[in-house]
Amino acid sequence: MKLFIPKEEEILDGKITDIYFDRTVKTLSYLGIKDVKVRMEFHSYGLPKNYNWGVFAGLEEVLKLLEGKPVTVYAMPEGTLFKEIEPVMIIEGNYLDFGIYETALLGILRQESSIATKAARLKSLALDKSMIFFGLRALHPVSSIIADRSAYIGGMDGVSGLMSKEYLGLEPSGTMPHALMLILGDDEKAWEAFNNAIDPAVQRIALVDTFEDERFAALKAAKLLGDKLYGIRLDTPSSRRGNFKKIIQEVRWTLDINGFRNVKIIVSGGIDEEDVIELKDYVDGFGIGTSVAFPQSVDFSADIVEKYIDGKWVPFTKRGKWPGAKQVWRCNSLNDTITLLNEKIDGCTPLLKKYMDNGKIMEKLPSITEIRQYVLSQLKTISQ
């Protein structure tokens, strides 16, 4: 038995690929074709239904994958909001040097951008509310760091993964599980034990829906922990909820009239966009899992759009796609214009920059916190 996880060197060597790319290389080699210089564009020709934009994520891993290979990469900065058809990245070079990596490149961009986009959509609905990503249990462990990174970039205020501190520099966030309550068999024993055992720097957020009515349990937690209690979490299953908003309002009222206005209310359990819209005026934060971990897919494709023929770049692509390598110009908010790569528009900002030249990284990459702030700054200027 084993874990079905590829080694890093197998990814870097191009072994994580679809067989037809390997056969393409063999066919070209059979024909004696050794140098076919192309520009390949990465874009989404169809965002999910009701999506007006996506968040570009995964660039750091793309550059790691291509580093040292004789290719040039133009890309939007990671965290840029993009629209349908707009190229988010262009790879220029001999197809035989990078074509085998198309599978991995698309997988990186698709998974990370899909998660970041969903996180950003949720955050945009309640910019002033705390949102913590709890979605690792919905994913294979090999995706845990990727998911935490993408969710954080998209706007989540924190992530729950233990290893994200080591890999991402993010202090993991979380509350307490029902398992602790059930093992100890008593709410108050569990709250008190957690309070005594865990570093005082960790916020005390008491789970209050395990054994009894949420209103009574919330008040018990507030009285037991006093000023040490940061908040309470409601994770009430749908089979017991009735009207979740009314339960939350009842808990809030009970805490307030008993002098615990400072105690925050955090909700979790199947939270999605419609829940944020309904509950954001009554809660202080959300724990969000599956809707971010398994979002609608931002489908990227990679297409050759130019070939280098007789000393010049010639627009060349398949049916249904726009030929020619392109630049995206942002004039204000998400008012974008697409031109050919070498054209210019006065007064607007070009979004695609050269990040790699002949395998050498040209731009200093921002931290994930800087990328997240970039995403949030864009969210403040647009609506979905």
Residues 109 and 160 in one domain: no
Q: 258, 293, 328 — which closes off a domain?
A: 293
**Residues 176, 209: contact at Cβ < 8 Å?**
no
- Look at residue 103 in the predicted model and tell me its pLDDT: 98
- Non-local (6+) Cβ contacts of 125 within 8 A are 273, 276, 277, 280, 384
Of 261, 293, 325, the position where a domain reaches its end is 293
Query: Could you list the residue range(s) of the whole structural domain that residue 35 is in?
Result: 8-113+297-376
**Upper half-sphere CA count for residue 161 (Cβ side, 13 Å):** 30
Note whether 219 and 129 are same-domain residues. yes
Residues 228 and 371 both lie in one domain: no
- Calpha distance 81→53 (Å, rounded): 6
Q: Is residue 3 part of a domain?
A: no
Q: Which residues of the chain have pLDDT under 50?
A: none
Instruction: State residue 382's pLDDT score.
Output: 84
Last residue of a domain, one of 233, 267, 293: 293
Q: Please give the angle made by the CA atoms of 360, 324 and 304, to the nearest 5 degrees.
A: 65
Q: What is the DSSP letter of 132?
A: E
> Which pLDDT does position 374 carry in this prediction?
98
Q: What is the CATH number of the domain that holds 143?
A: 3.20.20.70
For tokens 């700054």, name the residue: 377
Total tally of structural domains belonging to the chain: 2
Q: Same domain for 282 and 321? A: no
Q: What's the pLDDT score for residue 94?
A: 98
* 3-state DSSP percent of the chain in helix, strand and coil, to 5: 40, 20, 40
Is-contact 290 270, C-beta < 8 A?
A: yes
Task: Please give the C-alpha separations between residue 61 and each of 53, 109, 210, in angstroms, as whole numbers.
Answer: 22, 9, 41
Is 2 within the bounds of a domain? no
Residue 236 falls in which region: left (phi positive, over 0), alpha (psi -120 to 50) or beta: beta
Per-residue pLDDT, 237: 61
Indicate which CATH number applies to the domain containing 92: 3.20.140.10
Please tell me whether residues 70 and 175 are part of one structural domain. Answer: no
Q: Mention every residue, 6+ apart, whose C-beta is less than 8 A from residue 288.
A: 119, 122, 131, 132, 133, 134, 135, 156, 268, 271
User: For residue range 146-193, what is the model confidence (pLDDT) as tens digits?
Assistant: 999 999 999 999 999 999 999 999 999 999 999 999 999 999 999 999
Strand 71-75 versus strand 353-357 pairing type? antiparallel
Look at residue 334 in the predicted model and tell me its pLDDT: 85
| Three-state DSSP state, 336 | strand
Shared-domain flag, residues 252 and 275: yes
Whole-number pLDDT of residue 366: 98
What's residue 238's pLDDT?
65
Residue 372: both structure tokens together: 């997240």
Structural domain includes residue 164: yes
DSSP 8-state code for residue 142? G
Give residue-wise pLDDT tens across range 280-321: 999 999 999 999 999 999 999 999 999 999 999 999 999 999
Cα–Cα distance for residue pair 114/20, rounded to 1 Å: 25
Same-domain check for residues 267 and 353: no
Q: Are residues 43 and 58 in the same domain?
A: yes
228 contact partners, CB below 8 Å, separation of at least 6 = 195, 204
pLDDT of residue 333: 82
Domain assignment present for 45: yes
Task: Say what the pLDDT of residue 272 is.
Answer: 97
